[in-house]
Amino acid sequence: MNQRLILSSALASVLALGVMAPAAAQSKEKCYGIAKAGQNDCANLSGTHSCAGQSKMDNAADEWKYVPKGTCKDMKGMTADEAKMGMKK
């Protein structure tokens, strides 16, 4: 194959991914208090872990999952500020 064709195809792929990623991130939001044990998406608010899949209990207020924007309240979830306030009680 022509090296120029391979290089231009690879560059086009990288550019396409770069354009799509921000759009995907904008259509999601963090929803606290809905993650099942072992199904959180990343670090929790309390700082007891820093990785996905490490939640120990269902629906912990400091654990979160990405959900489609605008659906968190329907799932009885909380924003980060609401979760922080709940942790202070």
User: Which class for 35: exposed (0-12), middle (13-18), buried (19 or more C-beta within 10 A)?
Assistant: buried
Task: Assess whether pLDDT exceeds 90 at residue 12.
Answer: no
d(C-alpha 45, C-alpha 84), whole Å: 7
Q: Please, which pLDDT band fits residue 74 given cuts at 50, 70 and 90?
A: very high
Rounded-to-integer distance, Cα 53 and Cα 10, Å = 33
Distance from the first to the final alpha carbon of the chain: 65
**Predicted pLDDT at 3:** 78
Band of residue 10 on the pLDDT scale cut at 50, 70, 90: low
pLDDT in tens, 15-71: 666 655 555 557 999 999 999 999 999 999 999 999 999 999 999 999 999 999 999
Q: Tell me the β-bridge partners of 29.
A: 67
Higher-pLDDT residue of 85 and 65 is 65
